[in-house]
Amino acid sequence: MLFPLGSPQRCFWTLLVLTLMVLLLAGLLRVERHTLLLGGQAEGPPITNIMFLKTHKTASSTVLNILFRFAEKHNLSLALPAGSRLHLGYPWFFLARYVEGVGQAGPPRHFNIMCNHLRFNPPEVQKVMPNDTFYFSILRNPVFQLESSFAYYRHLTPAFSAAPSLAAFLAAPHTYYNQSLLRNAHARNHMWFDLGLDPNAPVEESYVRAHLAHVEQRFPLVLIAEHFDESMVLLRRRLRWQLDDVVSFKLNSRSRRSVTSLPPEAQERAKRWCALDWRLYQHFNRTFWAALRAELGPRRLRSEVAQLQERRRVLSALCLQDDAPKNKTQITDARLRPFQSGEADILGYNLREGLDNETLRLCQKMVMPELQYMAHLYTLQFPQKRPKNIPFLKA
Ligand SMILES: *[C@@H]1O[C@H](CO)[C@@H](O)[C@H](O)[C@H]1NC(C)=O
Ligand SMILES: *[C@@H]1O[C@H](CO)[C@@H](O)[C@H](O)[C@H]1NC(C)=O
Ligand SMILES: *[C@@H]1O[C@H](CO)[C@@H](O)[C@H](O)[C@H]1NC(C)=O
Ligand SMILES: *[C@@H]1O[C@H](CO)[C@@H](O)[C@H](O)[C@H]1NC(C)=O
Ligand SMILES: *[C@@H]1O[C@H](CO)[C@@H](O)[C@H](O)[C@H]1NC(C)=O
Ligand SMILES: *[C@@H]1O[C@H](CO)[C@@H](O)[C@H](O)[C@H]1NC(C)=O
């Protein structure tokens, strides 16, 4: 024996036993808390005041559909783009007056849900959203986000249209990228830009840390597109919604033909070029998993994800022709054809034939592309206004 039998050693064993007991107790309490939360909805009414910062090319159209359906089901008011606009002033900073119904005269008007594209500008958002609003957003790995932006905004973004390919762009981005053009917002640190921050700021540690802390303070929930189903589980818990409220089909996705796989060296260049987005993504991927671990634990998470996926399978078999997405030439109902952009084939769905009226209405809402759905809700909310004109539907 290294130590004579004496008080230091006894002390050690006592401490060890005590520590184990405390840990065991803490574990039991955790299980207890999870069981209590198992009912899920018991903690109060569903949250209905919501601001979703819709980032670009991050599965956010699918989240938008979820919010639109919830708003319609509960007759909630939406902060929709004013007049003939299709978004809330993007890429300029959001202003309250971009919202329909926010007049120069009269009392300030508040809305339940704000979720259309905008560049985040908190003081202006607060003018139209109630002070108990729940803020959330979604991020995607910036390498794949950039690849998606490149295909989608190829013809709209000068930095992209000047480059022969994404790999060429990444090999010499400064050749193509003029940072003083707002239309180049899609070409660098796009998510950082959407959050209202400067996409060209030098990547200094103190700057990055301070802004990550601000974003975290403003957005108590940041979802991760790569973990979409886990994201929906967490969102549902935070909003205290029903399972069906967060079940969705993937919207606005591209056909495989229009997705380019980037070689590893181009991926590394993308991370360096979009270093602010990369830091943002890494940070919120960590907080996302920490939140899941703290709230559910792995077993419960697996079971809730499985529940969600099963419900999606059931609805997909019920609603969708061939149970699969379709390209623009295959979609027979023009109202269900998604807007096409750049070099991307954006997919949508055909519904199955012979659905009864109630099922048809449910299925239509789940597959309705965002512009059409926005126009529909605009007319519901502002029946006296001229309906939104969705130009590509007329073509
Ligand atoms: C929905 O809300 C509007 C006012 O915001 C109200 O006039 C209308 O009656 C409501 N409809 C239903 C079905 O609750
Ligand atoms: C939120 O707004 C309500 C009324 O609009 C007000 O009574 C309340 O004090 C506000 N709460 C906070 C925390 O600002
Ligand atoms: C970048 O754009 C600005 C604004 O249009 C223009 O004045 C400037 O000449 C451009 N710079 C380059 C290098 O093309
Ligand atoms: C995100 O977090 C998960 C869980 O910790 C990890 O497996 C994954 O590699 C992370 N993704 C990235 C791109 O860092
Ligand atoms: C749409 O899909 C069909 C069937 O897979 C295919 O033959 C056609 O080329 C596709 N059209 C476009 C525009 O991708
Ligand atoms: C279903 O909707 C159509 C068109 O809106 C209507 O003509 C028909 O009567 C409805 N059927 C039932 C069973 O409600």
What are the boundaries of each domain within the chain?
A: 43-394
How much distance in Å is there from the Cα of 131 to the middle of ligand 2? 6
Task: Mark 136-168 as b/e (b = at least 16 C-beta within 10 Å).
Answer: bbbbbbbbbbbbbbbbbbbeebbbbeebeebbe
Regarding the beta carbon of 350 and ligand 4, being less than 6 Å apart is answered no
Ligand number nearest to the C-alpha of 101: 1
Regarding the beta carbon of 181 and ligand 3, being less than 6 Å apart is answered yes
Indicate the SS3 state at residue 138.
strand
Which residue has the least CA distance to atom 3 on ligand 3? Answer: 180
Q: ∠ CA(231), CA(361), CA(255), 5° rounding?
A: 55
Regarding the beta carbon of 189 and ligand 4, being less than 6 Å apart is answered no
How much distance in Å is there from the Cα of 132 to the middle of ligand 2? 8
Q: What is the pLDDT of residue 166?
A: 94
How much distance in Å is there from the Cα of 381 to the middle of ligand 1? 9
Which residue has the least CA distance to atom 6 on ligand 4? Answer: 285
Fold classified for 43-394: Rossmann fold (3.40.50)
Query: Beta-strand (E) ranges in 144-229?
Result: 221-224
Alpha carbon 283 to its chain centroid, in Å, reads 16
Regarding the beta carbon of 383 and ligand 1, being less than 6 Å apart is answered no
Ligand number nearest to the C-alpha of 178: 3
Ligand number nearest to the C-alpha of 108: 2
Q: What is the pLDDT of residue 218?
A: 97
Phi, psi dihedrals of residue 362, rounded to the nearest 5°? -60, -45
Q: What is the pLDDT of residue 41?
A: 44
Helix, strand, coil percent content, the chain, rounded in steps of 5: 55, 5, 35
Give the contacts of 220 (CB within 8 A, at least 6 positions apart): 134, 135, 136, 238
Q: What is the pTM of this model?
A: 0.86
Rounded to an integer, what distance in angstroms lies between the CA atom of residue 232 and that of residue 224? 10
Which residue has the least CA distance to atom 14 on ligand 4? Answer: 282
The residue type found at 292 is L
- Report the nearest atom of ligand 4 relative to the CA of 288: 2
Distances (CA, A) of 274 to 181, 190, 265, 381: 17, 8, 14, 39
Q: What is the pLDDT of residue 46?
A: 97
Regarding the beta carbon of 75 and ligand 1, being less than 6 Å apart is answered yes
Report which secondary-structure segment, H or E, holds 53. strand 50-53
| Intervals of the chain under pLDDT 70 | 1-14, 16-20, 22-42, 104-107, 342, 344, 391-395
Identify which of 258, 259, 327 to mutate to test ligand 5's pocket (most ligand atoms within 8 A of the CB): 327
Identify which of 289, 293, 296, 301 to mutate to test ligand 4's pocket (most ligand atoms within 8 A of the CB): 289
How much distance in Å is there from the Cα of 178 to the middle of ligand 3? 6
Q: What is the pLDDT of residue 3?
A: 45
How much distance in Å is there from the Cα of 75 to the middle of ligand 1? 6
Distances (CA, A) of 75 to 251, 301, 386: 23, 31, 21
* 8 Å CB contact between 233 and 303: no
Listed residue (335, 345, 339, 346) closest to 368, CA to CA? 335
Rounded to an integer, what distance in angstroms lies between the CA atom of residue 336 and that of residue 349? 7
Listed residue (172, 195, 173) closest to 184, CA to CA? 173
Phi, psi dihedrals of residue 224, rounded to the nearest 5°? -125, 120
Indicate the SS3 state at residue 294.
helix
Q: What is the pLDDT of residue 260?
A: 75
Q: What is the pLDDT of residue 330?
A: 84
Q: In the 8-state DSSP scheme, what is residue 178?
A: -
How much distance in Å is there from the Cα of 129 to the middle of ligand 2? 12
